[in-house]
Amino acid sequence: MLILASTSPYRRELLQRLRLPFECARPEVDETPLAGERPAELVHRLARAKAAAVARLHPQAWVIGSDQAADLDGRILGKPGGQAAALAQLAAMGGRSVLFHTAVCLRRGERELAAADLTRVRFRELSAAEIERYVAAEQPFDCAGSFKCEGLGIALFDAIESQDPTALVGLPLIALAALLRQTGYAVP
């Protein structure tokens, strides 16, 4: 049995690409950053915690935990949750490079495998009107960094530099497929 420790529709859609049967379960994990925690540390800790929380309830299943954070000059930018925060995040990122840390953890019982991806997004200069139009069009309030790169958000960038394009959406499938193969899954 394979379980995705997430209720994210984006992660669910990504995992469906691997054509493996799986279920989803909500991990009951506090996602608040710890004092002084760097973005890379946060995503590793949360990916592991999400996988562990669900694995405790399903000890015979392989559980996938994943997390992502935007890193603007070492400051964590999470999901905006609303329009005002989304507008502010995008205004702060305009004309800048932002790092997106994405971690994935695969766990069954006490066995744990993990991987991470670092994606650099170079935002083009963005006018207030462009930001407002974008936010009104896609309402990316549940996305780290306030955009959907798989949608209209792609028009906000000059470039994306990554080892794994799916990591920016929230689940690094190249790394996950490798972890699954290590545990005996046939992917593809």
What residues are annotated to the active site? 67
Contacts of 3 (CB under 8 A, 6+ apart): 22, 23, 24, 25, 54, 58, 61, 62, 63, 64
Count the helix, strand and coil residues of the chain and give each as a percent rounded to the nearest 5.
35, 25, 35
Per DSSP, helices labelled H in 58-126 are 83-93
Q: DSSP string of 99-132?
A: EEEEEEEEEETTEEEEEEEEEEEEEPP--HHHHH
